[in-house]
Structure 1
Amino acid sequence: MKTCPSVLEAIGNTPLIELVRVGRDFPARIFAKAEFMNPSGSMKDRIALKMIEDAEKEGELKPGRVVLEETSGNTGIGLAMVCAVKGYRFIAVMSEGNSPERRQVLQAMGARVELVPQAAGGKPGQVTGEDLALVEKRAKELQEELGVFWVNQFHNPGNCAAHHQTTAQEIWQQMDGKIDFFIDVVGTSGTFTGIATALKGKNPNIQCWAVEPATAPVLAGKPVTNPKHVLQGSSYAKIPHLWQSEVCDGYLTVTDGEAIRAARRLATEEGLLCGYTSGGNVAAALRLAGWCDPGARIVTVLCDSGMKYLSCDLFKC
């Protein structure tokens, strides 16, 4: 095994694990990309490195400049890691509704954390689009006040490109191109759009399905009955800028309870300690496995580590 000159070279090349225990009662096969095994614990390490390096190449980011980003935590943590290695000061703007472990990790990695109160009636652990709008407003204010470089993951094309160029290629190689379905929860849409466009470029017959909260299926064009849900960092009840509906073949919804139960099963049956969105992805994969053709191969993503949710209700009985 080769040595790495920094932790940045350890990003990517995560395992693809078949969930034979969780999926044992279904004729289809479910495979999960273990993105929580990236160095800082989530798939966002990939986009953090890509967006920073793109900014450096384009001359937008030079030594001594401060980096700013609005984040639910994972992208911020990935950026804190990248900035630590590259020597940039980093400011993370995030909602108070995100789990406290995320801000603690950010601070431990040297980031300045700017917490934004939730909108009226907000509940910790359930960050809504309204909460996110307040975070974005504060990020814009800080950018204007401090003249910093704003990464802006919700609009940054490097978000999609990172997954198109790395995650999707790894999945294709690990599955030997034998993929019937790809499904994923949509947040910024960087992961879904990047992977779906790459996989369909290789085989247009691969079905790519978006996963949404049962109470906020906005991508499917259905009414939002409750924007508050546990899928932190995703599904803000609005269509993200990076979304490309033409690569989406269908939509699946999951309830909070289904996401939580699936995450707990991942931990106790597969030994995989992951967060809410991973649970949501697996819950959706199990539903799909119940009615697709026998032997079909379903690929999804285990987005981040469950270590960031120990203060939440996720693993509390």
Structure 2
Amino acid sequence: MQTGIATSVLELIGQTPLVDLARITRGLDGQVLAKVEFFNPGYSKKDRIALQLIEDAEASGALQKGDTVVELTSGNTGTGLAIVCAAKGYHFVAVMSRGNSPERARMMAALGAEVVLVEQSAGAIPGEVSGADLALVEARTQAIVRERNAFRADQFQLPGNARAHYLHTAAEIWQQSGGIDVFCDFIGSGGSFAGCAAYFKERDPAARCYVVEPAGAAAFEGETVSRANHKIQGGGYAMAELAQIDRGLVDGCLQVSDAIAAEMTRRLAREAGLFAGYSSGANLAAALQLLEGAERGARIAILLCDSGLKYLSGDLFGA
């Protein structure tokens, strides 16, 4: 007998809604469709890659019963891995910079993860994680993997990151929308951009895909980094190359300032009722740039990457 009862939280990952941001785009020629990834159980798109990375490792034999899983995180991948590891019975160690919002560490710990917080680099600004901060987290992560002989769920290197978005995120967007013209995405590991761009271009070679970076830290675009610290947590680490991204998928690059990303995030909440985080605002800002310029009249897809609940300790939404 078929029922509507899920057998595991893992069955709740994916199949998130796609919303037309019609109130925000009124007066503009074109459409922005937002994939609401904070409907995943860990409130972010990273639940998808967490499940893919663990299941790939199980299938290959790289991860076996009783093993420990380790990965660096800005909080979202770690939350996804904490959920997947809890459901599957693995011990998970999340390694994160103290520059990330404290809600993230608390949520991972509540889900049973062991959370290791790494101090920021000299001169760093709390709440603004730079590439230098990430390098310190990477070094600590590598050390813990060696010490514990653990499996590294490496979101920056393993192909399961992009594959999760190719197989699921992009396929869902295409099925829900009937097709899109443009995709733009704020990059961290680059997995969501790479997987979605590959899928969209396979379905329609004329589809255009744009990388989004923080203003002043657009190293992938080839610019000199003038401001490595920024508030858009979860990405923008000023990396000139990302293993996940084939540059042949990139049709252009866009930059978004902290102030504009914050403004757009607040607009999502106040005009669309969508309570999302900084990177979602960055994606919306980039989409509006395109509708007002090079992609006037286009149907643009973006991801609302995570929930605003993860930013309440900061100044994003005010007192």
Shorter-chain TM-score category? over 0.9
> Is residue 154 of structure 1 aligned with residue 156 of structure 2?
yes
- Give the match for residue 14 of structure 1: 16
Report the AA paired with residue 121 of structure 1.
G
Runs of 4+ displaced beyond 4 Å: none
| Structure 2: segments with no counterpart, 5+ residues | none
- Give the match for residue 181 of structure 1: 182
Secondary structure of the equivalent of 2:25? coil
Corresponding pairs, count: 316
Q: Matched residues in 1 for 2:15 and 2:115: separation?
A: 30
Residue 25 of structure 1 deviates from its aligned partner by 2.5
Given that 1:95 and 1:132 are in contact with CA atoms closer than 8 Å, whether structure 2 keeps it comes out as: yes
> Is residue 130 of structure 1 aligned with residue 132 of structure 2?
yes
| Structure 1: segments with no counterpart, 5+ residues | none
Q: Matched residues in 2 for 1:293 and 1:54: separation?
A: 37
Residue 234 of structure 1 deviates from its aligned partner by 0.5
Q: Matched residues in 2 for 1:137 and 1:295: separation?
A: 46
Q: Matched residues in 1 for 2:283 and 2:191: separation?
A: 16
Secondary structure of the equivalent of 2:5? coil
Secondary structure of the equivalent of 2:283? helix
Residue 96 of structure 1 deviates from its aligned partner by 0.5
> Is residue 232 of structure 1 aligned with residue 233 of structure 2?
yes
> Structure 2 vs 1, CA of residues 293 and 247 (structure 1 numbering), >3 Å: closer, same or farther?
closer
Q: Matched residues in 1 for 2:296 and 2:289: separation?
A: 13
Residue 27 of structure 1 deviates from its aligned partner by 1.1
Q: Matched residues in 1 for 2:132 and 2:308: separation?
A: 25
Percent of residue pairs identical? 51
Report the AA paired with residue 143 of structure 1.
V
Residue 240 of structure 1 deviates from its aligned partner by 1.8
Q: Matched residues in 1 for 2:208 and 2:136: separation?
A: 35
Alignment of 1:142-291 (within 5 A): 142-177=144-179, 179-238=180-239, 239-291=241-293
> Structure 2 vs 1, CA of residues 94 and 293 (structure 1 numbering), >3 Å: closer, same or farther?
closer
Q: Matched residues in 1 for 2:145 and 2:296: separation?
A: 52
C-alpha distance after superposition, 1:225-282 (max 9, x if no partner): 1111111110100122212111010011110000000000000110000000000000
Given that 1:11 and 1:38 are in contact with CA atoms closer than 8 Å, whether structure 2 keeps it comes out as: yes
TM-score by length of 1: 0.98
Secondary structure of the equivalent of 2:70? strand
Secondary structure of the equivalent of 2:233? coil
Instruction: Indicate the RMSD between aligned Cα atoms, in angstroms.
Output: 1.0
Residue 289 of structure 1 deviates from its aligned partner by 1.1
Q: Matched residues in 1 for 2:97 and 2:77: separation?
A: 13
C-alpha distance after superposition, 1:275-306 (max 9, x if no partner): 00000000111111112455320111100000
Q: Matched residues in 2 for 1:82 and 1:134: separation?
A: 26
